[in-house]
Amino acid sequence: MSLVDIADVTKFYGTNKVLDRVSLAVEPGEIIAIIGRSGSGKSTLLRCINGLEPIQGGRIVVDGEVVNDPKTDLRKLRQRVGIVFQSYNLFPHLTVSRNITLAPTVAKGMPEGEAREIARDVLRRVGLEDKLEAYPDQLSGGQQQRVAIARSLAMQPKVMLFDEITSALDPELTGEVLAVLEDMARSGMTMILVTHEMGFARRFGSRVVFMHQGRIWEQGRAAETLGRPQTPELETFLGAVLH
Protein backbone atom coordinates (compact mmCIF):
# COMPACT_ATOMS: atom_id res chain seq x y z
CA MET A 1 0.00 0.00 0.00
CA SER A 2 1.20 3.49 -0.85
CA LEU A 3 2.45 5.69 1.95
CA VAL A 4 0.65 8.68 0.46
CA ASP A 5 -2.34 8.08 -1.76
CA ILE A 6 -3.95 11.10 -3.36
CA ALA A 7 -7.05 10.15 -5.32
CA ASP A 8 -9.11 12.46 -7.49
CA VAL A 9 -8.54 15.47 -5.31
CA THR A 10 -10.35 18.69 -6.15
CA LYS A 11 -9.98 21.96 -4.29
CA PHE A 12 -11.51 25.39 -4.72
CA TYR A 13 -10.62 28.80 -3.39
CA GLY A 14 -14.08 30.32 -3.63
CA THR A 15 -15.10 29.56 -7.20
CA ASN A 16 -11.51 29.25 -8.37
CA LYS A 17 -10.55 25.63 -8.95
CA VAL A 18 -6.95 25.24 -7.78
CA LEU A 19 -6.73 21.45 -7.85
CA ASP A 20 -8.54 19.52 -10.54
CA ARG A 21 -8.89 15.77 -10.01
CA VAL A 22 -5.31 15.23 -8.94
CA SER A 23 -4.18 11.66 -8.30
CA LEU A 24 -0.75 10.66 -7.07
CA ALA A 25 0.50 7.63 -5.17
CA VAL A 26 3.82 7.78 -3.34
CA GLU A 27 5.60 4.60 -2.25
CA PRO A 28 7.85 4.44 0.81
CA GLY A 29 11.34 5.71 -0.01
CA GLU A 30 10.26 7.61 -3.10
CA ILE A 31 11.44 11.14 -3.73
CA ILE A 32 8.86 13.11 -5.66
CA ALA A 33 9.75 16.50 -7.13
CA ILE A 34 6.68 18.57 -7.94
CA ILE A 35 7.44 21.32 -10.44
CA GLY A 36 5.37 23.91 -12.22
CA ARG A 37 4.91 27.64 -12.45
CA SER A 38 3.45 29.61 -9.57
CA GLY A 39 -0.30 29.28 -9.35
CA SER A 40 -0.23 25.76 -10.79
CA GLY A 41 -1.45 24.33 -7.49
CA LYS A 42 1.77 22.56 -6.48
CA SER A 43 2.14 24.16 -3.03
CA THR A 44 -1.57 23.77 -2.38
CA LEU A 45 -1.36 20.08 -3.15
CA LEU A 46 1.52 19.71 -0.71
CA ARG A 47 -0.41 21.52 2.04
CA CYS A 48 -3.42 19.28 1.51
CA ILE A 49 -1.34 16.20 2.30
CA ASN A 50 -1.04 17.08 5.99
CA GLY A 51 -4.45 18.69 6.19
CA LEU A 52 -3.33 22.32 6.39
CA GLU A 53 -5.73 22.97 3.51
CA PRO A 54 -9.13 21.30 3.31
CA ILE A 55 -10.17 19.64 0.05
CA GLN A 56 -13.60 19.65 -1.57
CA GLY A 57 -13.45 16.42 -3.51
CA GLY A 58 -11.54 13.16 -3.60
CA ARG A 59 -9.53 11.43 -0.90
CA ILE A 60 -6.07 11.65 0.61
CA VAL A 61 -4.75 8.71 2.58
CA VAL A 62 -1.46 9.01 4.46
CA ASP A 63 -0.01 6.02 6.25
CA GLY A 64 -3.42 4.34 6.27
CA GLU A 65 -5.33 7.34 7.60
CA VAL A 66 -7.81 9.39 5.59
CA VAL A 67 -6.66 13.00 5.94
CA ASN A 68 -9.96 14.53 4.83
CA ASP A 69 -12.09 12.43 7.20
CA PRO A 70 -13.39 14.65 10.04
CA LYS A 71 -12.90 11.73 12.43
CA THR A 72 -9.16 11.63 11.78
CA ASP A 73 -7.06 13.20 14.51
CA LEU A 74 -4.96 15.55 12.39
CA ARG A 75 -2.65 16.25 15.34
CA LYS A 76 -1.64 12.61 15.53
CA LEU A 77 -1.31 12.38 11.76
CA ARG A 78 0.88 15.48 11.53
CA GLN A 79 3.33 13.91 13.96
CA ARG A 80 4.09 11.46 11.16
CA VAL A 81 4.14 13.98 8.32
CA GLY A 82 6.84 16.64 8.53
CA ILE A 83 6.61 19.83 6.52
CA VAL A 84 9.23 22.52 5.92
CA PHE A 85 8.13 25.90 4.63
CA GLN A 86 9.71 28.42 2.31
CA SER A 87 9.88 31.02 5.08
CA TYR A 88 11.30 28.56 7.71
CA ASN A 89 8.63 29.56 10.28
CA LEU A 90 10.87 28.92 13.26
CA PHE A 91 9.52 30.16 16.58
CA PRO A 92 11.48 33.41 17.05
CA HIS A 93 11.02 33.56 20.83
CA LEU A 94 12.53 30.14 21.44
CA THR A 95 16.09 28.84 21.20
CA VAL A 96 17.00 26.39 18.48
CA SER A 97 16.94 23.64 21.07
CA ARG A 98 13.46 24.56 22.30
CA ASN A 99 12.20 24.99 18.74
CA ILE A 100 13.10 21.36 18.22
CA THR A 101 12.03 19.89 21.57
CA LEU A 102 8.70 21.74 21.81
CA ALA A 103 6.60 19.38 19.69
CA PRO A 104 8.15 16.12 20.94
CA THR A 105 7.62 17.14 24.58
CA VAL A 106 4.21 18.82 24.19
CA ALA A 107 2.54 16.79 21.45
CA LYS A 108 4.18 13.43 22.08
CA GLY A 109 4.70 13.76 25.83
CA MET A 110 8.38 12.86 25.56
CA PRO A 111 10.55 13.59 28.63
CA GLU A 112 12.62 16.78 28.30
CA GLY A 113 15.97 14.95 28.54
CA GLU A 114 15.14 12.49 25.82
CA ALA A 115 13.87 15.29 23.56
CA ARG A 116 17.13 17.18 24.05
CA GLU A 117 19.08 14.11 23.02
CA ILE A 118 17.02 13.94 19.86
CA ALA A 119 17.52 17.66 19.28
CA ARG A 120 21.28 17.21 19.51
CA ASP A 121 21.08 14.27 17.16
CA VAL A 122 18.98 15.96 14.45
CA LEU A 123 21.09 19.13 14.67
CA ARG A 124 24.17 17.00 14.08
CA ARG A 125 22.50 15.64 10.95
CA VAL A 126 22.03 19.15 9.59
CA GLY A 127 25.49 20.24 10.76
CA LEU A 128 24.38 22.75 13.39
CA GLU A 129 25.18 21.00 16.63
CA ASP A 130 26.89 24.13 17.95
CA LYS A 131 23.74 26.27 17.55
CA LEU A 132 21.70 24.51 20.23
CA GLU A 133 21.29 27.62 22.38
CA ALA A 134 21.14 30.23 19.60
CA TYR A 135 17.98 32.15 18.74
CA PRO A 136 16.66 31.96 15.17
CA ASP A 137 17.50 35.60 14.39
CA GLN A 138 21.14 34.91 15.18
CA LEU A 139 21.30 32.44 12.29
CA SER A 140 21.60 32.90 8.54
CA GLY A 141 18.69 31.98 6.30
CA GLY A 142 20.33 28.72 5.31
CA GLN A 143 20.99 27.83 8.93
CA GLN A 144 17.41 28.68 9.90
CA GLN A 145 16.10 26.45 7.17
CA ARG A 146 18.35 23.61 8.33
CA VAL A 147 17.00 24.06 11.87
CA ALA A 148 13.47 23.92 10.45
CA ILE A 149 14.35 20.63 8.76
CA ALA A 150 15.86 19.34 12.01
CA ARG A 151 12.71 20.40 13.88
CA SER A 152 10.60 18.27 11.54
CA LEU A 153 13.02 15.34 11.71
CA ALA A 154 12.81 15.35 15.50
CA MET A 155 9.22 14.14 15.21
CA GLN A 156 10.56 11.08 13.35
CA PRO A 157 8.11 11.46 10.48
CA LYS A 158 7.38 8.80 7.90
CA VAL A 159 7.20 11.30 5.09
CA MET A 160 8.63 14.78 4.69
CA LEU A 161 7.06 17.57 2.66
CA PHE A 162 9.17 20.48 1.43
CA ASP A 163 7.51 23.62 0.15
CA GLU A 164 10.01 25.55 -1.99
CA ILE A 165 12.44 25.50 0.89
CA THR A 166 15.33 27.08 -0.98
CA SER A 167 13.37 29.79 -2.78
CA ALA A 168 13.99 32.46 -0.14
CA LEU A 169 17.72 31.74 0.05
CA ASP A 170 20.72 33.26 -1.67
CA PRO A 171 22.38 30.87 -4.11
CA GLU A 172 25.36 30.31 -1.82
CA LEU A 173 23.05 29.31 1.04
CA THR A 174 20.94 27.04 -1.15
CA GLY A 175 23.81 24.59 -1.38
CA GLU A 176 23.99 23.86 2.33
CA VAL A 177 20.25 23.16 2.47
CA LEU A 178 20.38 20.92 -0.59
CA ALA A 179 23.25 19.00 0.99
CA VAL A 180 20.98 18.22 3.95
CA LEU A 181 18.24 17.06 1.57
CA GLU A 182 20.69 14.83 -0.28
CA ASP A 183 21.75 13.27 2.98
CA MET A 184 18.12 12.58 3.87
CA ALA A 185 17.49 11.16 0.41
CA ARG A 186 20.37 8.73 0.87
CA SER A 187 19.01 7.64 4.24
CA GLY A 188 15.82 6.47 2.52
CA MET A 189 13.38 9.12 3.72
CA THR A 190 10.18 9.44 1.72
CA MET A 191 10.16 13.00 0.44
CA ILE A 192 7.77 15.13 -1.56
CA LEU A 193 9.29 18.41 -2.68
CA VAL A 194 7.85 21.41 -4.39
CA THR A 195 10.99 22.81 -5.90
CA HIS A 196 12.65 24.87 -8.55
CA GLU A 197 15.94 23.01 -8.09
CA MET A 198 15.98 21.03 -11.32
CA GLY A 199 19.47 19.73 -10.60
CA PHE A 200 18.32 18.18 -7.35
CA ALA A 201 15.19 16.81 -8.99
CA ARG A 202 17.27 15.23 -11.73
CA ARG A 203 19.82 13.61 -9.43
CA PHE A 204 17.63 12.50 -6.54
CA GLY A 205 14.06 12.56 -7.74
CA SER A 206 12.69 9.11 -8.34
CA ARG A 207 9.80 10.84 -10.05
CA VAL A 208 9.06 14.30 -11.38
CA VAL A 209 5.50 15.59 -11.38
CA PHE A 210 4.74 18.61 -13.54
CA MET A 211 1.63 20.54 -12.53
CA HIS A 212 -0.20 22.96 -14.75
CA GLN A 213 -3.56 24.67 -14.21
CA GLY A 214 -4.32 22.60 -11.10
CA ARG A 215 -3.70 19.28 -12.82
CA ILE A 216 -0.89 16.80 -13.04
CA TRP A 217 0.06 17.55 -16.61
CA GLU A 218 2.91 15.14 -17.00
CA GLN A 219 4.92 12.83 -14.76
CA GLY A 220 7.56 10.18 -15.00
CA ARG A 221 11.08 9.16 -14.06
CA ALA A 222 13.07 12.29 -13.34
CA ALA A 223 15.78 12.06 -15.98
CA GLU A 224 13.39 11.08 -18.78
CA THR A 225 10.69 13.59 -17.97
CA LEU A 226 13.11 16.47 -17.65
CA GLY A 227 15.14 15.32 -20.64
CA ARG A 228 12.31 14.57 -23.05
CA PRO A 229 9.17 16.53 -22.12
CA GLN A 230 6.06 15.16 -23.83
CA THR A 231 3.90 18.27 -23.63
CA PRO A 232 4.59 21.76 -24.97
CA GLU A 233 3.69 23.21 -21.54
CA LEU A 234 6.46 21.31 -19.77
CA GLU A 235 8.87 22.13 -22.57
CA THR A 236 8.08 25.84 -22.21
CA PHE A 237 8.38 25.61 -18.43
CA LEU A 238 11.73 23.85 -18.54
CA GLY A 239 12.94 26.34 -21.11
CA ALA A 240 12.04 29.15 -18.71
CA VAL A 241 13.61 27.70 -15.55
CA LEU A 242 16.76 26.30 -17.13
CA HIS A 243 17.79 29.57 -18.75
- Shortest Å distance, C-beta 235 to another protein: 35
Is there binding between residue 54 and another protein (CB under 8 A)? no
From residue 222, how far is each of 106, 146, 194, 231 by CA, in Å? 39, 25, 14, 15
- Compute how many residues bind another protein; rule: CB under 8 A: 28
**Number of other CB atoms surrounding residue 207 within 10 Å:** 19
Residue whose CB is less far from another protein, 70 or 232? 70
The stretch near another protein (CB under 8 A) out of 101-109, 169-177, 215-223, 235-243 is 101-109
Q: 66: buried, middle or exposed (CB in 10 Å: 19+, 13-18, 0-12)?
A: middle
Is there binding between residue 85 and another protein (CB under 8 A)? yes
**Position among 90, 110, 149, 226 found at the interface with another protein (CB under 8 A):** 90
**Number of other CB atoms surrounding residue 12 within 10 Å:** 14
Backbone angles phi, psi at 150, to 5 degrees: -60, -40
Residue whose CB is less far from another protein, 89 or 213? 89
Instruction: Look at the alpha carbons of 128, 132, 133, 135 in this order and tell me if their dihedral is positive or negative.
Output: positive
Is there binding between residue 139 and another protein (CB under 8 A)? no
Q: Tell me the per-residue interface mask from 21 to 50 with another protein, x by CB under 8 A, - otherwise.
A: -----------------------------x
- Shortest Å distance, C-beta 102 to another protein: 6
**Position among 78, 131, 146, 212 found at the interface with another protein (CB under 8 A):** 78
Which residues contribute to the site for another protein (CB under 8 A)?
A: 50, 52, 74-79, 82-83, 85, 87, 89-94, 102-103, 106-108, 135, 137, 151-152, 155
